[in-house]
Amino acid sequence: MESSAKWVVNEDELLACCGSTKFAKQMAALSPFSNLHQTIESATNIWFNQVDVYGWLEAFSAHPQIGQSPSLSHVGETFAQWSKGEQSTAMKSATSTTLQELTEWNARYKQKFGFVFLICASGRSTAEILAELKRRYSNRPVVELEIAAQEQMKITELRLAKLFSAKSSTDAATEFQPASVTAKANEDRLSMINSHLISSSDSSGEKKSQAPKRNRPPITTHVLDMAGGHPGAGIEVQLEAWRGPEPRPSFPGSDPSGWTLVGSGKTDNDGRSNPLMNIVDAVTPGTYRISFNTGKYNPSGFFPFVSIVFQITESQKFEHFHVPLLLAPFGFSTYRGS
């Protein structure tokens, strides 16, 4: 029989589980919780659907590099103790050589992605962690951001279990198994992350095939400055459509007069551009080009500007096209969101 006890958690306790202030505030607002399972479900929803990129990066920054201890003044005693415990297996198996190599790869990783290498280290040896760090180093920034968010959620789950273990009876504490939030939650993690990156307003459970009326333009964008570890704010953006005599522009280039300006704008403090086109049910099929004035944003950067050319077919005219730009120190990446 399930206990009728209510578990109350405050912001400080939640910050020890996840270093995002927004996460802690929203979780505390939902307190008390009936059981740990309900708490984990709420935490998963808030982390992937409500915490913005600032919150993700804030949580990442609370963690020390693997092999180092966090600052008590920055994260608090409980966070520091849990972090030390989670790294205990790695530290017991470490040698001076592996620790030195780990330090060097941690620095390379942070230089490339803009945030600390994050992994649920509990029970992992130094060799395992180092191998995973090297493997993930080759990822594109958008892929690595998703993986880091998932690792943070694993850490949060484990720490919530510790928190509730201290607050509840032994019987209640044993209800939780860290790797089994629910099958559906696990399946939906990547889609929730993708939704988080492309829109903070898409939370309906409707199937895509139902094609509801739009509440935003069919083409949108979002810029993340992975080098600085924050959204790319104040970047000039323009969207153009191909209207030249040829069906589509050719490589290495066509008559530049074939491009027609659709709209222009500038990214806000969250890195999202103001509307670049009107809200229409069906976007006109064709070839589009979205350009970013990265040279003005970062005059010392490698790219004076970045242009992304993409095509929308007749069968896709009711879909949404989100074209994010992720800037790294010596490169950039993009992908097609929805």
Catalytic residues: 63
CA 275 to CA 301: how far, in whole Å? 26
Calculate the CA 14 to chain-centre distance.
Answer: 20
Q: Under a CB-based contact definition with an 8 Å cutoff, are residues 39 and 60 in contact?
A: no
